[in-house]
Amino acid sequence: MCTRTFWSSPGRTSPAETGLLLVLVLVLLEGSVLHAVAGASSSAADVTNHHAPTNESGHQKKPFPVLDLNYEHVQTPFEISLWVLLASLMKLGFHLIPRVSNIVPESCLLIVVGLLVGGLIRLAGEEVPPVMNAEVFFLCLLPPIILDAGYFLPIRPFMENLGTILMFAVVGTLWNAFFIGGLLFAVCQINPGYPLELHQLELLPCLLFGSIISAVDPVAVLAVFEEIHINELLHILVFGESLLNDAVTVVLYHLFEEYAGAGTVTVLDGFLGIMSFLVVALGGVLVGAIYGLLAAFTSRFTSHMRVIEPLFVFVYSYMAYLSAEMFHLSGIMALIACGAVMKPYVEANISHKSHTTIKYFLKMWSSVSETLIFIFLGVATVDGKHHSWNWVFVTATVILCLVARVMGVVGLTYIINKFRIVKLTTKDQFIIAYGGLRGAIAFSLGFLLDEVHFPKKDMFLTAIITVIFFTVFVQGMTIKPLVELLAVKKKQEAKRSINEEIHTQFLDHLLTGIEDICGHYGHHHWKDKLNRFNKKYVKRCLIAGDRCEEPQLIAFYHKMEMKQAIELVEKGGAKMPAIPSTVSMQNIQPKKAVPQERMLGQLSKGKEEEIRNILRTNLQRTRQRLHSYNRHTLVADPFEDGVILRKKNVMEKKIKEMNNYLTVPAAPPDSPTMCRARLASDPQAYSMKPTADDVPTIHVDLASPQSPDSVNLVDELKKKSEPTSDADEGLVMRAPSQNRSEESDREQQKLMRCLSDPGPNADEDEDEPFLP
Amino acid sequence: MGSRASTLLREEEIEEIKKETGCKLCQNAPLYLSQTSITNPVFNSVFSREDFQRIPELAINPLGDRIINAFFPEGEDQVNFRGFMRTLAHFRPIEDNEKNKNAAPSEPLNSRTNKLLFAFRLYDLDRDDKISRDELLQVLRMMVGVNISDEQLGSIADRTIQEADTNGDNSISFNEFMKVLEKVDVEQKMSIRFLH
């Protein structure tokens, strides 16, 4: 969710912007209008139904309806799609208006949009659809976000700070819950001479309310913290806390809900609560880990059916979540555990494309989910029938939330700093306290409350919404300037270099050795033991082929080289890099060409020609092996890639030129014939055909280096130069063999397409070894 | 092996060690270290290499030999308790008040630079203040095991040197080493908690 500034002109809106705004307004109106239409058409449908039986009995012929409106048939999916479309267009819209999105975080804007949509629907006279249904939220909207967080969780900082995170999550949330609940009860009881409805509020409902409102929300934290790019430590502290406090929230919620009817809580109940907490937390993690191992094991056998690999990841994770929820365990922790456990093994087994697919799908779903959640929050706010405003209660809640959070963080940090090597400074504490945002989980939990036992449910909901709005708007908007003001350390954008990797591992071994000498079984010792166990037993079971023997360092190195090769090809375009030696994954000898720009330096014309010839001859040769079209096999279609679209104009120009040479005019590039022809030659079916003239050959494979699918651009140049013509354009045209250069163009681009992987975030760090 | 005479550390010695290494709880150090596998250092105030090699975990540690060698000063075969503590003092956590203290005569042993210097010396066996390609290759080979071919390791080593080398001498000097690790939180990584 990085803000890209497309238009920097401050005052004027470009026509595209205005166009987009119009589209957005239209969608908003359409949404609200359709609800009205829904109401109308349902009545119309009833009328026609009544007519039908009389027709049959009387055999009367009515004119055949040429155009008919049947909204009910598609109502539910249509509305869902409309909401998703609205959410996505909103996201697009915000990025096109950089001025606003730099000041206001996306979450605020989305809530405002939700308010607008809700308002429009109200104005249209219809009832606001009950979109913020707790089931929809917990079963459909929340899991993608959590899975995305868990799968890409940076394990190393998380584990290193686990103690701190647990302290904040467990003790902090408990403190918050009891402090807020208790003091709210006290506030409600004051002023006894003036009997208010607040006096009816008992202690237990207050405590329940406290436990609902005290939990830091992962969705809100993610949304806001993503934009401020804060340093890794603080990010993982706040984010980890928001994830792990789910267990506490679940236990407290159920505990107080159970006993709110009874009215009292005894010591035994407290003890059972503690037991329950352990069961919920550890049980959730266990369930997640089991499903994660299952997914890893399954991925070991998917080498022949690569297309469904991502499906396993998603389905197993979702099942973990549902299973945990079934037993009232912590679904969020199950999901995190599943993602974190399965990732290193699955990554080793799946193909490169599946990896990209998983990454993209997770990002897409979580992004849409998050947008929808905030919009629905806005819509649900407008839904008036669930609100009951009470000044005292609401203001007391807001103030107490802030106070409790600050006190909790300061107190806990004091204790934690005694055990930490790198202490948390005051600035850190401030950011942690300020980053405690509440969000939709609190709202949904409030929604789930039973009206019978909690007659003050509406008041609770109003207070919850107020706190959410306050934290998201006020804290969300001001945290960015505050971070700048306090000069908090920001995230370091650069990728991990091979040096860092080697030296970090070196230091790990060193420290393990020192710890062994001292006899002090610390952090490094256990990590080392776990790594050894992992290498010896677990990896053998879960990783296919001989990848299980691959040391972390080599895997990291391969990934890095692959990325670099991809970048090289993308930058280079039609020109291959100047290194005449082998550019293979196994054997990089970069020599003096340190900066990548130098690699694309000046090629002599002769060499350039040689390379072009090689490409042309080889690529056209393999095109002769056409496979039958199968829509289940993943093949690359070069025309779909953005990289290629840049060349499309050049291509089309050339095709026009070429038509002069061809006897049969070539079909336009995106006609079905051409598409099918392109799709049909599977890039992964390239193999070495021994050629009559020893023109060098090129392997193009993907995925893991040691399997037969490795990227292995072996370019054995033989000294064979050919006469050049105008070398300015990407291809050289010569009279007789012209009809082949068009196709080789496409083949060449297919080559690039196979290797290109434009990821959403270039520095998305998924290169973490198991326990780095 | 050394004598079994019960030579307790004298008070002056403890004071000196405390000043040198900065370990405040140095007089309690024998209590900590008595948990080690090395035979009770209080009574046996010199160690030799065999003492270290008796620790089983060090045998499977890829850097085991080098770590042991780091304890022994140049050329000697024995190290006394003072030298032992001196080496261990590199791993003390950096405390905040020390960062402000300018009055220290020389940089304390557990400063970031000294920590990194310690690690650097483990790479640089021939003490020429440079990590050459061969030294790097040796370390890589130890860490990675026997399954990887020499060419691969060679290319990794080349790549590593290429990334770090700024002055073009095809080896990594200490300054380049420090620069490469500037993003890594060395203070936290190279610290053991109980050595206060």
Find the mean pLDDT for residues B45-70: 77
Asked if A421 has any chain B CB less than 8 Å from its own CB, the reply is yes
- Decide whether B11-90 matches B109-191 in CATH topology: yes
Out of A144-158, A477-491, A653-667, B88-102, least confident range: A653-667
Q: Which residues in chain B have their CB less than 8 angstroms from residue A423's CB?
A: 96
Out of A87-101, A490-504, A704-718, B14-28, least confident range: A704-718
Helix axes A391-416, A457-469, angle to 10 degrees: 60
Asked if A505 has any chain B CB less than 8 Å from its own CB, the reply is yes
Residues ≥6 apart with Cβ < 8 Å to A316: A291, A292, A294, A295, A298, A338, A342
Indicate yes or no: CB of B63 within 8 angstroms of CB of A553. Answer: no
Among the listed residues A188, A192, A184, A193, the one whose alpha carbon sits nearest the alpha carbon of residue A214: A184
Backbone conformation region of residue B20, classed left if phi is above 0, alpha if psi is from -120 to 50, else beta? alpha
Specify the higher pLDDT residue, A531 or A145: A145
- Residue A42, pLDDT > 50, answer no
- Mutation target vs A (from B57, B131, B180, B190; most A CBs, 10 A cutoff): B57
Domain extent listing, chain B: 11-90, 109-191
**CATH superfamily name and code, B11-90:** EF-hand (1.10.238.10)
Find, in chain B, the residue whose alpha carbon is nearest to that of A547: B147
- Residue A639, pLDDT > 70, answer no
Q: Which residues in chain A have their CB less than 8 angstroms from residue B61's CB?
A: 509, 512-513, 516
Taking the CA of residue A345 and the nearest CA in chain B, the distance in Å comes to 19
- Residue A169, pLDDT > 70, answer yes
**Confidence at residue A485, expressed as pLDDT on a 0 to 100 scale:** 86
**Confidence at residue A548, expressed as pLDDT on a 0 to 100 scale:** 65
**Confidence at residue A194, expressed as pLDDT on a 0 to 100 scale:** 54
**Confidence at residue A743, expressed as pLDDT on a 0 to 100 scale:** 47
**Confidence at residue A587, expressed as pLDDT on a 0 to 100 scale:** 43
Using CB atoms, pick whichever of A500, A532, A590 lies closest to residue B181. A500
Q: What is the DSSP letter of A301?
A: T
B80-115 per-position pLDDT tens digit? 777 777 777 777 777 655 444 444 455 676 778 888
Q: What mean pLDDT, rounded, does chain A reach? A: 73
Q: Are B39 and B20 in contact (CB under 8 A)?
A: no
Find the mean pLDDT for residues A194-221: 80
| CATH number belonging to the domain at B109-191, selected among 1.10.238.10, 2.40.110.10, 1.10.490.130, 3.40.50.170 | 1.10.238.10
Distance of CA B115 to the CA centre of its chain: 8
* Cα separation values, A385 from A128, A382, A389, A458, B189, Å: 10, 9, 11, 9, 56
Asked if A581 has any chain B CB less than 8 Å from its own CB, the reply is no
Q: Which residues in chain A have their CB less than 8 angstroms from residue B38's CB?
A: 517
* Cα separation values, A484 from A476, A480, A490, A510, A688, Å: 14, 6, 9, 38, 57
The dihedral of CA A293, A296, A302, A307: what is its sign? positive
**Confidence at residue A19, expressed as pLDDT on a 0 to 100 scale:** 58
- Residue B28, pLDDT > 50, answer no
**Confidence at residue A336, expressed as pLDDT on a 0 to 100 scale:** 92
Indicate yes or no: CB of A514 within 8 angstroms of CB of B91. Answer: yes
pLDDT range class, residue B195, cuts 50, 70, 90: low
- Mutation target vs A (from B144, B166, B177, B186; most A CBs, 10 A cutoff): B144
- Residue B76, pLDDT > 70, answer yes
The dihedral of CA B129, B132, B138, B140: what is its sign? positive
Asked if B73 has any chain A CB less than 8 Å from its own CB, the reply is no
Q: Which residues in chain A have their CB less than 8 angstroms from residue B143's CB?
A: 502, 505-506, 509, 551, 553
Q: Would you tell me how many other CB atoms lie within 10 Å of the CB of residue B137? A: 17
The continuous run of DSSP H or E covering A422 comes out as none
**Confidence at residue A15, expressed as pLDDT on a 0 to 100 scale:** 58
Q: Which residues in chain B have their CB less than 8 angstroms from residue A531's CB?
A: none
A750-771 per-position pLDDT tens digit? 544 444 444 444 444 444 444 4
- Residue A403, pLDDT > 70, answer yes
Using CB atoms, pick whichever of A505, A589, A594 lies closest to residue B143. A505
A230-266 per-position pLDDT tens digit? 888 888 999 999 988 888 888 888 888 877 766 666 7
pLDDT range class, residue A404, cuts 50, 70, 90: very high
Out of A155-164, A189-198, A391-400, least confident range: A189-198
A615-627 per-position pLDDT tens digit? 776 665 554 445 5
- Residue A149, pLDDT > 80, answer yes
pLDDT range class, residue A47, cuts 50, 70, 90: very low
d(CA A238, CA A161): 11
**Confidence at residue A92, expressed as pLDDT on a 0 to 100 scale:** 86
**Confidence at residue A23, expressed as pLDDT on a 0 to 100 scale:** 58
Q: Which residues in chain B have their CB less than 8 angstroms from residue A559's CB?
A: none
Find the mean pLDDT for residues A719-736: 42
